[in-house]
Amino acid sequence: MVRRKNLIVEKVKNGADILFSYLKKTIFSDFTSFCKWLLIALGAGGIIGLAGTAFHMAIGWAEGVREEQQWIYWLLPVGGLVIALLYRVCGMEADPGTDMVLFSVRSEAKISIKTAPLIFISTVITHLLGGSAGREGAALQLGGSLGQSLGRLLRLDIKDLHIITLCGMSAGFAALFGTPMTAAIFAMEVISVGVMYYAALVPCVLAAVVASQISFALGSRPTIFTLKAEAVPDIAPLAAAQVVGLAALCALVSILVCIVFHKISLLYRKYLPNPCMRAVVGGALVAVIMFLLGTQDYLGAGIPVIQRAIDGEARPEAFLLKLLLTALTLGAGFKGGEIVPSFFIGATFGCTAAFLLGLPPEFAAAIGLVCVFCGVTNSPLASFILSLELFGGQGSLLFLLAVAVSYTLSGYYGLYSKQKILYSKTRPVFIDQQTK
């Protein structure tokens, strides 16, 4: 009897040991990891939030000066030369920009700490002098560089360096644009299409929220476009068909955007292999075109033009001119980004195409903005969330439908050559190819 009791006690003890070991390996381990990333994400969000806010304010200052001194775009060749020389002096002439940030998350490649100050200064110069460029691509580089540098300082291993790089991307995007949900999801989605880096979910969300709140507290305001409620159609078969048609056209536009950006960059490098000469000639070319157009609409990111399109007003040639001038600006070596220009292209195209499809131009502009962004970045989830943050959730089902169509029909093109398409867009097949 005693022996039987001892056997029962021993089995209970062994069972308790097994249970404790399991809890230690799972729950305790997960909780420890959660606490670690809670602290790291809060720190990264705070540091990069401050840097992103300073960047946002510097861009605002540059745009203010440019609006007052409208002749300043004639200095674009000088600005391009300064940027090229800065990168040469720092040994970063071959810097691939945002592509390097994306590649570093899938490999052991390092992002130089010099990337952060260089992209900060060069993007401010580009906007000050009127180069046609965005700023979110610069924010991804700024955040990714600072995030990875912080990770190396904390002696994180290579896998954790990947996560903190994503944290930095989220924080930089959120601080500059004021859309933390989009920032967090975009960073995880854009690296490898078809696979989400869910291990970075908590760190990216925390970093994005902290960075956006810091930016807001210091006086920055989130980017929100006012879409009239009466311009949003009710969900009906006709409206759905019209949205599908517009999304399909926007997918074609997004392919055109990617092709033009890549081809002009290749032509620059073929005929002007010297980066300094390329910057000077490209800056002069952009300045001359700006002068011939006789308008300030295509200088900088073009946020006022986007708002006018969402108010229902856009010139039919605006999307093509913005596409050309942005490709000429970035291909020449100026810095900034392609994301806000894609908003410009999508919004003005959507507003123009609305009359062909019978959609309200205001709503079509909003659909165009989101669809072209989706097509050039291959990020459908982030694109849909962007529509919620920018437009307040109006017509959300139609936005979701539009994003799905644009993603499917935009093929395997993309702004970022280091972005990987892991799974086919039309079949459950692993393809593992880089964007065109």
User: pLDDT tens across 390-402, in order?
Assistant: 988 888 999 999 9
What is the rounded distance in angstroms from the CA atom of residue 227 to the CA atom of residue 239? Answer: 17
Contact 399, 420 (CB under 8 A): no
Nearest to 387 by CA among 375, 376, 371: 371
Question: Does pLDDT of 156 surpass 60?
Answer: yes
Largest interatomic CA distance in the chain = 103
Q: Which of 69-73, 164-168, 427-431 has the lowest mean pLDDT?
A: 427-431
Distance of CA 218 to the CA centre of its chain: 22
Cβ atoms of 281 and 272 closer than 8 Å: yes
Q: Does residue 257 have a pLDDT over 80?
A: yes
Going by C-alpha positions, the residue among 350, 367, 420, 377 that lies closest to residue 257 is 377
CA separation for the pair 282, 162 (Å, rounded): 35
Sheet holding 430-434, edge to edge: 192-193, 420-423, 430-434
CA distance 123 to 138: 7
- CA dist., res. 133 & res. 63, Å (int): 12
Q: DSSP assignment, residue 231?
A: G
Domains of the chain as residue ranges with CATH:
40-217 (1.10.3080.10), 229-434 (1.10.3080.10)
Distance of alpha carbon 236 from alpha carbon 264, whole angstroms: 42
d(CA 359, CA 370): 16
Q: How confident is the model at residue 25 (pLDDT cuts 50, 70, 90)?
A: low
The dihedral over CA atoms of 338, 344, 347, 350, expressed in degrees to the nearest 10, equals -80
Structure tokens at 11: 């089995």
Look up the pTM and report it: 0.91
Sign of CA dihedral 128, 133, 134, 135: negative
- C-alpha span between 361 and 323 (Å, rounded): 20
192: enclosing H helix or E strand: strand 192-193
The tens digit of pLDDT for each residue in 269-298 reads: 999 999 999 999 999 999 999 999 988 888
Q: How confident is the model at residue 254 (pLDDT cuts 50, 70, 90)?
A: very high
Got the DSSP string for 108-138?
S----TTHHHHHHHHHHHHHHTT-S--SHHH
Share of the chain above pLDDT 90, in %: 59
